[in-house]
Amino acid sequence: MARIAVVAGDGIGTEVTAQAQKVIEAVLPDAEFNDYDLGARFYNRTGEVLPQAIQDELARHDAILLGAIGDPSVPPGVLERGLLLKLRFDFDQYVNLRPSKLWPGTTSPLAGVKPGEIDMVVVREGVEGLYVGAGGVLHKDTPAEIATEESLNTRHGVERVIRDAFARAQRRDRRHLTMVHKTNVLTKAGGLWARTFAAVAAEFPEVTTEYQHIDAASMFMVSNPQRYDVVVTDNLFGDILTDIAAAVTGGIGMAASGSVNPERKYPSTFEPVHGSAPDIAGQGIADPAAAVLSASLLLEHLGHHDEARRVSEAVAAEVASRTTGAPLRTAEVGDRIAAAL
Amino acid sequence: MARIAVVAGDGIGTEVTAQAQKVIEAVLPDAEFNDYDLGARFYNRTGEVLPQAIQDELARHDAILLGAIGDPSVPPGVLERGLLLKLRFDFDQYVNLRPSKLWPGTTSPLAGVKPGEIDMVVVREGVEGLYVGAGGVLHKDTPAEIATEESLNTRHGVERVIRDAFARAQRRDRRHLTMVHKTNVLTKAGGLWARTFAAVAAEFPEVTTEYQHIDAASMFMVSNPQRYDVVVTDNLFGDILTDIAAAVTGGIGMAASGSVNPERKYPSTFEPVHGSAPDIAGQGIADPAAAVLSASLLLEHLGHHDEARRVSEAVAAEVASRTTGAPLRTAEVGDRIAAAL
Ligand SMILES: CC(C)[C@H](C(=O)O)[C@@H](O)C(=O)O
Ligand SMILES: CC(C)[C@H](C(=O)O)[C@@H](O)C(=O)O
């Protein structure tokens, strides 16, 4: 029986997560859900972001279903680092999974690109690189100030995420994997990534491979996103590339993500890429599609492949059936998807 | 009298640079040009990338007109670091200037975006950040390998490029400046950038400002590039962002750049963003527009404002007059632009 921690969070997070939970309940009736009140409201009330006791409780779940975190009342960075990134690091969620698909019923801002033509998944490294927080500031607020950020990369960390990406590519139709880095400038980390990529490639002779610099990949993401199948890249490049991928597939309305510990030693977190959107919160008009697609990633991760596929197909059908301009009600969308299952 | 060093380089570099020189000669008849044979051919012949004696000669010029460097025969990174980046660092070219405009006669891959609607310039820091080459590799090619990259940022370096960007924004119609970084994760360097930005903003009360994280900016670059006027950002983010900007304005065919030392203590380098394109080299079919626009940036930098404007207007007119599908001859395009001046 799956034990799922629900961190609905702030703003529209609570609204869309309710639909995601509803949909999981429809396909996994005996799943157990436990709510955790974290995010801006909790922080403003308690002054704490993630108490150790709550983190210990979260650790005893199979997965975390997260809505959205953040509110203008909280200084930027506090919740991101204290909650989202902390979970990624403490729960060793080293595979940050971000599929991007141009779904029927949605429109790309790119002229002439049709639904079905873009279908990729970016496997972003989740716990290394520039996200480790290494570095410092000296002579702050004087003309002599310097600030450093250090990107830390290990063979261990790079190899496991690259192997995960190869395995995913191997399971897909096109079996193509693109590695993205900036090896011509970041020669140390880039060298490690390139050598590791070449070594792991030997284990997957059926997967065709390609390397691109991050600047070129960012350009191709706009000029020819159809070319990508699976992409593997480091933490920061993945952060950027997945937002471009979301943009070319019609924005973050359908962008789901998972911060995954593949070994399931720790719970993985599944959340829509969009934020808490305080401007439309409380009105019941947020699109729960990305949250429900994140639930589908959660089901997949827990081994419920058939259920995962049914959920993403139901989302696709719901989105394809929408009539332009018709008002969207969050709960009704969730009901329709759940009913279709 | 302007002394211009010409580093035409490899592949189509020589072809397009000849047109850029032709155009400068048309507006600045007494300019002196000195050719320097550098790039892949030079490297393959001599084993050297940039001999000190040549660098000393380059230093005695007002500007460097560069074509394109690179050939598959040279290992990736060698010429980039040994020539392009070395010039940026040794000649303190701390302002990396990259205008992006959707010109009449060109097409954006973005649906519904019309010529004239995108008009921005990205001011990318050129000599700090992750490009300094700091970091190392330990236990190479063993399971214990680690690789680090260090981003070094100084108040001195950040302040001068931010001030340059404000000054540019101040001179433009919209007077809007967007700072892009990743302050919520890179808190040390991001903090330095954010505090410096706020401090310099006080000197430019007429410029409106905005801050965006690099991931959000990369998304907006696709969903709403019209919003940008001047953008200032660090070395690596600028590398990525300018390639997205080039992509949404129709690719690198019109993308010009300058690596600028604003004080003119050292020569600045002006070059098209495109590469040496070995696949079409030698056929006389490369579009010299980006190279000629880079020459316009060169003229602007040397204080020939009127000439710079006339050159970019002539390029715009030539591009607008093109008929779709008609074959393009590099030298004829250069002749037409020069004749129009
Ligand atoms: C909120 C922020 C820390 C986070 C990141 O940079 O990873 C977000 O942009 C994301 O992509 O999940
Ligand atoms: C060739 C490479 C080193 C260079 C960079 O990364 O700056 C290029 O991408 C550029 O943008 O000028």
B187 and A77: CB-CB below 8 Å?
yes
User: Of the residues B69, B239, B294, which should be mutated to test ligand 2's pocket, given the most ligand atoms within 8 Å of the CB?
Assistant: B239
Quote the CA–CA distance of B32 and B122 in Å, as a whole number.
30
Residue B187 confidence (pLDDT): 96
pLDDT at B326 over 90: no
Q: What residue's CA is closest to ligand 2, atom 2?
A: B80
Please name every residue paired with A211 in a beta bridge, in sequence order, or none if there are none: A179
Which residue range forms the structural domain that includes residue B233?
Answer: 104-117+126-251
Of B131, B151, B222, the CB nearest to A148: B151
User: Are B319 and B103 within 8 A, CB to CB?
Assistant: yes
Quote the CA–CA distance of B309 and A165 in Å, as a whole number.
49
Mean pLDDT calculated for residue range A260-279: 96
Q: Same domain for B155 and B83?
A: no
pLDDT at B193 over 90: yes
Q: Same domain for B133 and B242?
A: yes
pLDDT at B252 over 90: no
Which 8-state DSSP code applies to residue A206?
A: T
B135 and A150: CB-CB below 8 Å?
yes
Decide which of B198, B216, B251 is a domain's last residue: B251
pLDDT at B324 over 90: no
- Selecting among A36, A43, A182, A228, the annotated active-site residue is A182
pLDDT band at B251 (very low <50, low <70, confident <90, very high): confident
Strands A129-134 and A95-101, bridge-based pairing: unpaired
pLDDT band at B253 (very low <50, low <70, confident <90, very high): confident
Of B135, B139, B141, the CB nearest to A188: B135
What tens digit of pLDDT does each residue of A31-75 get?
999 999 999 999 999 999 999 999 999 999 999 999 999 999 999
SS (H, E, C) chain B: CCEEEEEEECCHHHHHHHHHHHHHHHHCCCCEEEECCCCHHHHHHHCCCCCHHHHHHHHCCCEEEEEECCCCCCCCCHHHHHHHHHHHHHCCCCEEEEEEECCCCCCCCECCCCCCCCEEEEEEECCCEEEEEECCEECCCCCCCEEEEEEEEEHHHHHHHHHHHHHHHHHCCCCEEEEEECCCCCHHHHHHHHHHHHHHHCCCCCCEEEEEEHHHHHHHHHHCHHHCCEEEECHHHHHHHHHHHHHHCCCHHHCEEEEECCCCCCCEEEEECCCCCCCCCCCCCCCCHHHHHHHHHHHHHCCCHHHHHHHHHHHHHHHHCCCCCCCCCHHHHHHHHHHCC
Q: Same domain for B242 and B275?
A: no
Q: Same domain for A175 and A115?
A: yes
Phi first, then psi, for residue B140 (nearest 5°) are -55, 140
Q: Same domain for B160 and B37?
A: no
Q: Say whether A92 is catalytic.
A: no
Q: Say whether B266 is catalytic.
A: no
Is any ligand 1 atom within 6 A of the Cβ of residue A243? no
Lowest mean pLDDT among A36-40, A46-50, A269-273, A320-324: A320-324
Residue B76 confidence (pLDDT): 86
- Residue B40: inside a domain: yes
- Selecting among A36, A94, A131, A228, the annotated active-site residue is A131
Quote the CA–CA distance of A151 and A170 in Å, as a whole number.
29
Q: Which ligand 2 atom minimizes the distance to the CA of B88?
A: 7
Q: Same domain for B134 and B211?
A: yes
Q: Say whether A164 is catalytic.
A: no
Instruction: Write out chain B residues lying below 8 Å of A247, CB-based.
Output: 218-219, 221-223
Q: Same domain for B267 and B231?
A: no
Ligand nearest, relative to CA of residue B242: 2
Residue B1 confidence (pLDDT): 84
Q: Same domain for B234 and B147?
A: yes
Average pLDDT of chain B?
A: 97
Strands B268-272 and B119-125, bridge-based pairing: unpaired
Residue B5 confidence (pLDDT): 98
Strands A230-233 and A119-125, bridge-based pairing: parallel
The count of structural domains within chain A is: 2
Quote the CA–CA distance of A308 and A7 in Å, as a whole number.
20
Give the domain CATH number at A163: 3.40.718.10
Residue B249 confidence (pLDDT): 95
Is any ligand 1 atom within 6 A of the Cβ of residue B215? yes
Choose the mutation target among A125, A214, A240 for the interface with B, i.e. most B CBs under 10 Å.
A240
Q: Same domain for A231 and A122?
A: yes
What tens digit of pLDDT does each residue of B35-50 get?
999 999 999 999 999 9
Give me the DSSP letters along A48-88: -SS-HHHHHHHHTSSEEEEEE---TTS-TTHHIIIIIIHHH
Residue B57 confidence (pLDDT): 98
Quote the CA–CA distance of B275 and B74 in Å, as a whole number.
14
pLDDT at A187 over 90: yes
| Shortest CA gap A307–chain B (Å) | 31
Please name every residue paired with B101 in a beta bridge, in sequence order, or none if there are none: B119
Instruction: Write out chain B residues lying below 8 Å of A152, CB-based.
Output: 146, 148
Which 8-state DSSP code applies to residue A332?
A: H
Mean pLDDT calculated for residue range B162-167: 98
Mean pLDDT calculated for residue range B83-102: 98
pLDDT at A286 over 90: yes
User: Are B260 and B302 within 8 A, CB to CB?
Assistant: no
pLDDT at A324 over 90: no
User: Are A151 and A189 within 8 A, CB to CB?
Assistant: yes
User: Of the residues A64, A74, A78, A80, which should be mutated to test ligand 1's pocket, given the most ligand atoms within 8 Å of the CB?
Assistant: A80
pLDDT at A323 over 90: no
- Residue B291: inside a domain: yes
Is any ligand 1 atom within 6 A of the Cβ of residue B142? no
Decide which of B251, B285, B318 is a domain's last residue: B251
Residue A25 confidence (pLDDT): 98
Query: How many other CB atoms are found less than 10 A from the CB of residue B32?
Result: 12
A105 vs B190, residue with greater confidence: B190
pLDDT at B118 over 90: yes
Q: What Rg value do the Cα atoms of chain B yield, rounded? A: 20
Q: Same domain for A295 and A183?
A: no
Whole-number percent of chain B with pLDDT over 70: 100
Residue A253 confidence (pLDDT): 86
Please name every residue paired with A134 in a beta bridge, in sequence order, or none if there are none: A150
What tens digit of pLDDT does each residue of A115-171 get?
999 999 999 999 999 999 999 999 999 999 999 999 999 999 999 999 999 999 999
Q: Same domain for A90 and A102?
A: no
- Residue B99: inside a domain: no
Residue corresponding to tokens 């997967």: A207
Decide which of A230, A257, A284 is a domain's last residue: A257
- Residue B86: inside a domain: yes
Q: Same domain for A221 and A275?
A: no
Q: Say whether B182 is catalytic.
A: yes
Please give the C-alpha separations between residue B6 and each of A285, B22, B270, in angstroms, as whole numbers: 59, 12, 10
